[in-house]
Amino acid sequence: MAEWNFNDWNRQIIEEFRANEGKVGGPFEGVTLLLLTTTGAKSGQKRINPLTYLLDGKRLFIFAAKGGSPTNPDWYHNLVAHPQVTVELGTEEFEATAVLLEGEERDQIYAKETQVHPGSADYEKKTTRKIPVVELVRRNSSW
């Protein structure tokens, strides 16, 4: 039996996202996804990850949930080291700066996320770490 390969799975989602104006099927049917390109913290190589997001007014947020695992996802470490990222949202691509939210603001945004995506409440229950909330602030834009 073939070994499951996360990179192949991610690549298929990325290809489907780009071919269908940001929409994908399967387990992500109807889910709001974006593609986040980060720079590897150690390697310096570009890395692309499909992620769910929350749009709150004109503010865009992502969550380093990693399914509630005990460690933060690799992409989170990358954007902490290199906060300048590229975001693909639907058919639009733009540069952004990743800003970590803390304290009450972080808690308020995560609470909104659990209302919109109820499964994210389960992630927080499964782990002892506080799931990081990251705002993607569009650069060189008036929105």
Q: Which two tokens stand for residue 48?
A: 């692309």
Report which DSSP code applies to 27: G
pTM equals 0.88
Which domains are seen in the chain, by residue range?
6-14+32-138 (2.30.110.10)
Sheet holding 92-100, edge to edge: 46-52, 33-39, 84-89, 92-100, 133-138, 59-63, 54-56
Q: How far apart are CA 61 and CA 100, in angstroms?
A: 10
Residues of the chain with pLDDT under 50: 1-2, 4, 143
Q: Which two tokens stand for residue 51?
A: 């992620």
**Tens digit of pLDDT for each residue in 73-102?**
999 999 999 999 999 999 999 999 999 999
